[in-house]
Amino acid sequence: MSCYRWIISGMVLGWLILLPIPSLGLTMEEEIKLLKARIELLEKKLVEKETGEPVVEERVQYLEREVDRLGYRQYPAQLLETISSVEAGGDLTLIMQRTENNTGRKNKGDLSTSADLNLGLPVGPYGNLFFRADVGQGEGVAKWLPNTFSGPNSDLEFDDARFQWVEAWFGTTYPWPSIYDQRFSFNMGKMDPTAFFDTNRLANTETDQFMADLFVNNLGIDWGGDDNGYGFGSRLAYRFTSIYQKGLTVEGSLGYFDSDGDFSDTFREPFVIAELDINRRYYGLEGNYRLYAWQNNREHSVWKNPDGNGKHNKGFGFSIDQGISSNLALFARYGYQDPQVSQFDQVITLGGRVIGNRWHRAKDHLGFAYGLSRTSKDYKKHSLDVDGYKADKNEHYFELYYRYNLWGEVAITPDIQYVINPGGDGDKDGLWIFGLRLQVNF
């Protein structure tokens, strides 16, 4: 207890002693008890005054850091921790792309569109329900491209004019060690695993950042299929640090998901992942460091013996983003997976983001990235028999975009992608993909 508080308590006690108390026929012992009750009440109010406001302020600051750390893609998943009423929102995305220098194929252009609707509902004091419906049309230019390890348009979830429920899950926190510092969180239902694992503040949302697959999530993670929408999933997380510990947040999480996304063999062939997240600020500049290991228990064909018994795929990796200045931030990802069952066994991506403050466009930003997908030795040996071409090189991928904010929540993004050795094929020339994206959030 601070010296200041003792002084105030002494003044209050002196005032109470001098304050006349109507006898009301009370004995001296009863009057003393009444005085003690008054002192305890006033001390309680004094403590609340000294500590109550900082507690609320710290909680608000923590939630603000969480929303900023996880970014737009994870915003629905984490925002639900704080809602007290129905929350709804969505977005509309239109992407136009065209290929150039497409060896052995004609240069083509095509477009795709998608729309998401999000709905959040509070359940009890700590629980929430989240729903996401998606509609999408168009296959984009992917069908005109040669084999590539990374697709050019990560926004392609479905080619169906009907809305589909792709996510529907329950999330809750546990008020321990206090209602202000709730360290346990749990989610279960029809879930997108990439909304909770392998996140990145600079490279994680295909509607506002990079478009190519390998700059949205780690290609070195075998997430499994999701042609039928996302399947069953669950996540348990624990934050090791208190919200009162400024500048550092450490959290561990475990995920258990349907590896096919079709609610079939969920418990026999799951996808499991464990991740450690570290969020730290250096001189006001935010940094996020995520380490993870995973295993996909579906049976994968082995390149050496595709007709034999299958094998599980497993691996590890990291995802990092770090602020360098108020305008510049950099990111890096690395992933490793079993070379006996994968086309590429190692993936590394590097890049950054520049906010347009220098040219008086604070809502604009420029993104740049490079990615390397290393062709696995076993796939190099058998690619000619399996896919009809010799994959003797590594695939190199570049992407550059500029997000220009038109007004409010409307933005337009010119995008350039360049692929060297697509699909590991050294006989293919470098491939250009030019794109333009219109994004409306509401």
Query: What Å distances lie between residue 281 and 62, 74, 326, CA to CA?
Result: 13, 20, 12
What pLDDT score does 307 carry?
A: 72
Q: Give the DSSP H/E element, type plus range, for residue 321.
A: strand 311-323
pLDDT given at position 5: 47
Specify the pLDDT at position 313: 92
Contact between 370 and 356 under an 8 Å Cβ cutoff? The reply is: no
Tokens of 244: 């009162």
**Does residue 176 carry a pLDDT above 90?**
no
pLDDT at 27: 61
395 phi and psi, to 5 degrees?
A: -90, 130
- Mean pLDDT for the stretch of residues 71-95: 66
The token duo for 377 is: 């030795």
pLDDT tens-digit map of 198-233: 999 999 999 999 999 999 999 999 987 665 568 889
Instruction: Label residues 144-165 b or e (16+ Cβ within 10 Å = b).
Output: bbbbbbbbbbbbbbbeeeeeee
Give pLDDT, residue 163. 80
Neighbouring CB atoms inside 10 A of 16's CB total 15
| Cα–Cα distance measured from residue 181 to residue 26, given in angstroms and rounded to the nearest whole number | 44
At residue 54, the pLDDT reads: 42
Q: What is the mean pLDDT of residues 237-258?
A: 93
Can you tell me the mean pLDDT for 82-104? 82
Q: Which phi and psi (to 5°) does residue 366 adopt?
A: -110, 130
Q: How far is CA 163 from the centre of its chain?
A: 23
Question: What average pLDDT does range 120-131 have in this prediction?
Answer: 90
pLDDT, tens digit (0-9, with 9 covering 90-100), for 302-337: 888 777 677 889 999 999 999 999 999 999 999 999
259-262-268-272 Cα dihedral, nearest 10 degrees: 30
Q: Which domains does the chain have, with CATH numbers?
A: 80-441 (2.40.160.10)
- Please report the pLDDT score of residue 41 as a whole number: 67
Residue 399: pLDDT above 50?
yes
Say what the pTM is: 0.78
Give every CB contact of residue 9 below 8 A, 6+ residues apart in sequence.
Answer: 43, 46
Structure tokens, 260? 């096919």
